[in-house]
Amino acid sequence: MASAARLTFFAVSMVLLSSVAIATDFTVGDGTGWTLDFNYTAWAQAKLFRVGDTLWFNYDKTKHNVVKVNGTEFQECSFTANNEVLSSGKDSIVLKTEGKKWYVCGVGNHCAAHQMKFVINVEAQGPAPAPTSSAPSLVSSLFGLLFLAIAAIFA
């Protein structure tokens, strides 16, 4: 039966699609952007970061920048000319590898005194749903299974 075959194909497609990881764009600080006295630690802790996701830093480039640091530099808010500095005012960083990543503002005492620092732990790209919500993937999986069941009945 052609329609059953089509239905089965659709169902299988849904199941497969639901397992594809979705890259997510994160705007650091959300609507606040990258600025003084925002709790970026709390912001980062509430998110799940995966390989392939992108961090966006929106800020006033005359006041701030973004410096990639290591764990020790992060603790001490100290870094050297060797650290990679972003300063366009709208910078994106694609998370290419797993593990911890540390970012600070390198201007004045913004890192030490104004909370312009945070650490993230980037996890492997997996079959998991988009970080913001597990609902869409779960729903499509359930629909996929439902269609499979219907297709099996009418095949």
Q: Which residue has the tokens 């966006």?
A: 56
Least Å distance, CB 105 to Cu ion, is: 3
Residue 64 within binding range of Cu ion, rule CB under 5 A? yes
Write the CB contacts of 10 (distance below 8 Å, at least 6 apart in sequence): 147
Looking at 11, 110, 118, 144, which residue binds Cu ion (CB under 5 A)? 110
- Which run of H or of E encompasses 113? helix 110-113
Q: How far apart are CA 23 and CA 89, in angstroms?
A: 23
Closer residue to Cu ion, CB minimum distance, 24 or 83: 83
Residue 66 within binding range of Cu ion, rule CB under 5 A? no
Using CB under 5 A as the criterion, what x/- string covers residues 4-43 for binding Cu ion? ----------------------------------------
Strand pairing of 99-104 and 54-58?
Answer: unpaired
Least Å distance, CB 90 to Cu ion, is: 15
